[in-house]
Structure 1
């Protein structure tokens, strides 16, 4: 790992520490403020405060870098751009469920080269930088534990695979429920784990296939390096690589082509191999 990306990764981990403190302070708070965005999704004062704080820190540390975030926008840019989801799993957060995380990525010319997932309520963190593998550690009040390298499973056939998805309603609304059901019928077991949790479990080898039909780039960018550095593969549901196409399929790599075939969307996108 080059010195430059090491410094960027350390910055991302420092930002995760900052988000950890801010989010933990507001989780299950009796005065949590919840509003509805124009797209009818919820947003809390914690989402807004975290993104504001991370943007301010990036202005100080990486003034020339672009920033794209869920709450305060931005456009995809060439060169270096940080991509932030202050709380992935806002619905879980506001309902008091522990499956939520801050996602932080750095993309260079559109390709995510590092990602950090910080899940304070689970006391876990995952991270990866290109060429340096994928890692996880426990995080408590006493600090971050010893890192452990993670890798995807070696399950090679769908009948032996564990599939995780987010919401049946989401797949139905996207007109892709038949594809999900076809994939699910081919797999050993299914779980509706959802959000970032499905994908980091793919990276850890505990889940073999995960996918969603309606996502934004900030939902996915930090996950791409973690999945790929763990030995897996990350594309859209029609097979296009990267986090820019509005959908996600993550697998251990061995199952990817079979999963794409079951979902059945690739044939309707002749440019599936292109970004």
Structure 2
């Protein structure tokens, strides 16, 4: 057991509560969907899940801070902060695609130390706490340890990426296309799912040009405890800020990927 065992157990309880709400609203005929100021969708399930998690954390961890995608930040009395994405993959959720999940993370001094990713429509959950390994399964009591792959050559690697439009906007589309040409296989599973497949060893690289803290915080402990590496495009440990990028790999391929995507020259 790690020093965060109680926090991990709480994160599972939060995920259970979230799953009960989101599953009931998935493919509901009366699902309400609105557009946020940035024109991304938000459903009544997103807001209901976050409200429930906030209520439970207020009861169980009243001194901890909380950052959620839908309702912003609640300050902390100390150095601990929970970070929640109530439904990662809302566009999938509202279209009836089952690849979506609730992401729950605990940060200590700004670093993710606990992560739970719960995807009830897939019947799958992933979790990790610092120093305790990474696990996946249909439920916390039926989990198995997971590990990244041992692939050492890009020509043998399976690459996952987010939409190409984002890479075009940040000026790295051509390096990404070349990376796709140089790897064995490339697919765009998107959102949390590519990172979890990486942690399980089913693929070897996941890259994303732009994401928020709540998109990545829960993923980092799972990937790293499974033996992988997660940095931003500049090679800094992820998450590197409230708005960041992500390059995740099985660690052995990481330096090569950063070089190909345009890591700045060392000063």
Task: Decide: shared fold, TM above 0.5.
Answer: yes
TM-score category of the 2 structures, normalised to the smaller one: over 0.9
Report the equivalent of 1:273: none
Report the equivalent of 1:175: 171
Structure 1 range deviating more: 72-81 or 178-187: 72-81
Report the equivalent of 1:52: 51
Q: Report deviation, 1:244.
A: 3.0
Are 2:195 and 1:199 aligned?
A: yes
SS at match of 1:105: strand
CA distance in 2, matches of 1:136, 1:221: 17
CA distance in 2, matches of 1:163, 1:76: 38
CA distance in 2, matches of 1:11, 1:192: 32
CA distance in 2, matches of 1:5, 1:93: 31
**Where does 1:105-144 land on structure 2 (aligned, <5 Å)?**
105-139=105-139
Structure 1 range deviating more: 63-72 or 180-189: 180-189
CA distance in 2, matches of 1:63, 1:52: 15
Are 2:150 and 1:151 aligned?
A: no
CA distance in 1, matches of 2:258, 2:146: 24
Structure 1 range deviating more: 145-154 or 77-86: 77-86
What do the CA deviations read for 1:148-191 (whole angstroms, capped 9, x no partner)? 00000000010110000121112112222122112212211100
CA distance in 2, matches of 1:32, 1:191: 30
Gaps of 5+ in 1: 271-275
Structure 1 range deviating more: 71-80 or 229-238: 71-80
Q: Report deviation, 1:238.
A: 1.8
CA distance in 2, matches of 1:37, 1:244: 25
Q: Report deviation, 1:59.
A: 0.3
SS at match of 1:213: strand
For residues 50 and 267 of structure 1, do their structure 2 counterparts lie closer, same or farther at Cα, with a shift above 3 Å needed? same
Report the equivalent of 2:264: 267
Q: Is the 8 A contact 1:76 1:110 kept in 2?
A: no
CA distance in 2, matches of 1:76, 1:88: 23
Are 2:210 and 1:224 aligned?
A: no
Match of 1:253 among 220, 245, 251: 251
Q: Report deviation, 1:216.
A: 0.2
TM-score, with normalisation over the residues of structure 2? 0.95
Q: Is the 8 A contact 1:238 1:269 kept in 2?
A: no
Report the equivalent of 1:6: 5
CA distance in 2, matches of 1:269, 1:92: 40
Q: Report deviation, 1:268.
A: 6.7
Report the equivalent of 1:42: 41
